[in-house]
Each structure stands twice: as C-alpha cells, then as structure tokens.
A = this chain, B = another copy of it.
Amino acid sequence: MATLGVDLGGTNVRAAVVDGAGNVVAEARRPHGGGAPEQVAEVIAEVIREATEKVPLVPVYGVGVGIAAQVDDQTGVVEVAPNLGWRDVPFANVLSERLGRSVVLLNDLSAAAWGEYRVGAGAGAEALLVVFVGTGVGAAIITGGALYRGASGVAAELGHVKLVPGGRRCGCGDDGCVEAYAGGVSLKQQLREALEESRGTGLAEFVARSGRPLEGSLLEEAAAAGDPVAQVILQRAGSLLGLAVANQVTMVNPERLILGGGTLQHLPSLRRAIVTGVRAYATRSSLAHLTIADAKLGDRSGLVGAALLAA
C-alpha cells in the first residue's frame, strides 16, 4: 500500500510516493516561498500532484508530513516554525482541508528517525537513539516500537542539552547549548568569527584560496591542513557532541545508535569524535550491547518516515 511522504523544510517542499516497503516510487520538489499556511498548503498540494502524476496507476492512501518545526503531534498544531515564521498554526487541519484527506504531521527529525527505524539503519532495534547533525543538532528516541515524545512532545532536544553553562549564545536564545558549538549554522558562524579575528592569518588565506563561500566543510579542510584555529573549533565541537551523545547512550541504553545529517557527512572528524566520545564516556554496561551505525536513507529519510507513519 503506497502513501505520500512530504518534507516541508525552510525553503523547499518535497513529496514522494512511498510503497509499503519504504521504496520511493516517485518524487517531486519545489521551493515554497514561505508565506501564510494556506499558501504553503497550496504549494504542497501542487508538489503532491506532480509526484502522484508520475505513477498514475499507484493508488495512494495516507499523507504524512515532516516539518522543520516544533509540533504537537497529537493535535497537528505547529507550535513554532522559526524558518516559516509560524506560531500556533493548526497546520494538519489546514492541509487536510486543502487536500480533502487526513494528514499526519510531525517534526521532520522524528520523521527521519522513523524512516531509519522502519527501513533504514535502525530496522528491528529494541531501543534506538538517532542523532542528526545538520544545520542544527537533533535526536529522536524510539522505544517499544514508537517514537518517544515525552509529556508534551518536545523530548530528545539533544541540540539544546547544555554542557557549557554560560557559553556561546544559541539560536534558541539560551547559552551553552551543544548546537551553539556543533550545529552546521553555528560552525559556519564560528568560522566567520575566526576570520574576522584573524585577518591575514593562515585560515583567512586558506579560505580565500579555496574561492568557495563560507561553509562548515572549509573548517574540516583547514584543520586537516594543520590550521590551529580550525582545529580548536572542530575539536571543541567534537568533544561536546561526543560527551552529549555518550551521556544519552548512558541514559537511553539503546541497542543501536544511528548517526546522520549533512554536517556529519561533510565533516567526518565530527562523526569520529562522536564515536570516540561514546566509547570513552558512556557506561560500560550501556556499551556492552550497543552498535553504532550510519543513517542509510540519506536526505530521503524524512520523506520515507513520514510516508510510513501515515500508512
């Protein structure tokens, strides 16, 4: 039985027809341009039509939507969507009315974790901890065959665990969050700050020579080339990520830890630092039965997870 998965990000909306085994049989995407919930729902409807028209013979049943936002998955209300500028929007209802069918709405990271659990690197795991490091740092816990949501649906905000009280200001407004050191946006910001503080040094030359726009992966390359400023930034990010994930392995006692996200992909030293930190700092008893795996579904995990959750 095929269902629709939708990934509503900060700038793009993607839709996919996904079969019961988690295979993407058709896909479409376009920028949504932001705006009011009704406008975005209109774009989603168009992208869904585009995807479904590619496989006209496949009947499609449910619709699952992962959104880069804090969502109450029980009511379908978007509490805060920083990229879209929404607050307290009953978007599952809005979209459901536009599409004429029911919609399951959840946080995009939860959707991605669900995809990995159902048909990716987490398949069959008893208790699963999924950590994604992309523009931000996020996590999801899957236990007893379900996403762990906590009392009000805001559990597992690993990016906002604090290890440096009074440290760097985070996008969330608090200080010292892990994401303020190790998220993709923050790494780029730290690179920018380092360049401002070190005009004419090796790092500035390295970046100028690369001819590329500022991005986190330049840190990885500069550090590998021996630049001490880049090394300090990356080592700090990696140590904090490693310690934060290790402490969650201790608390969650997962059978499997899955690592994914664009930042880990482009900065492999961060991925290594997480593995090193987990092995060094999690309790021996929680490590005894733990396996660590990379996410398998790449940037389709959210699409696939949302679709499978709607099935």
Contacts and interface: CB of A to CB of B under 8 A. Distances in A.
A160 B288 contact: no
A240 to B, nearest CB: 10
A70 B286 CA distance: 12
A56 interface: no
Interface of A: 70, 79, 125-127, 139, 141, 143-144, 148-158, 160-163, 165, 172-174, 176, 239, 243, 246-248, 250-255, 280-281, 283-286, 288-290
Nearest to A289: B152
Nearest to A254: B151
A125 B151 CA distance: 8
B288 A152 contact: yes
Nearest to A277: B165
Given A126-B151, A150-B252, A163-B163, A157 B285 contact: yes
Q: Which of A127, A143, A163, A251 has the most CB of B within 10 A?
A: A251
A237 to B, nearest CB: 15
A36 to B, nearest CB: 24
Nearest to A139: B251
A231 B163 CA distance: 22
A141 to B, nearest CB: 8
18 contacts: A127-B150, A127-B155, A150-B253, A150-B254, A151-B289, A152-B286, A152-B289, A155-B251, A155-B286, A156-B253, A157-B286, A161-B250, A161-B251, A162-B246, A162-B247, A162-B281, A163-B243, A165-B243
* Dominant secondary structure of chain A at its interface with chain B: loop
A179 to B, nearest CB: 11
Q: Which 5 A-B pairs have the closest CB atoms?
A: A150-B253, A151-B255, A155-B253, A154-B285, A127-B151
Contact of A250 (B79, B160, B239, B285): B160
Contact of A248 (B141, B154, B251, B255): B251
Interface centre among A125, A141, A151, A290 (most CB of B within 10 A): A151
Nearest to A286: B154
A158 B251 CA distance: 7
Given A150-B127, A151-B127, A251 B289 contact: no
Given A151-B255, A151-B290, 14 more contacts: A125-B151, A127-B151, A144-B144, A150-B286, A152-B255, A154-B286, A155-B252, A157-B251, A157-B283, A163-B243, A163-B247, A165-B280, A174-B284, A251-B251
Contacts of A156: 251, 253
A275 to B, nearest CB: 15
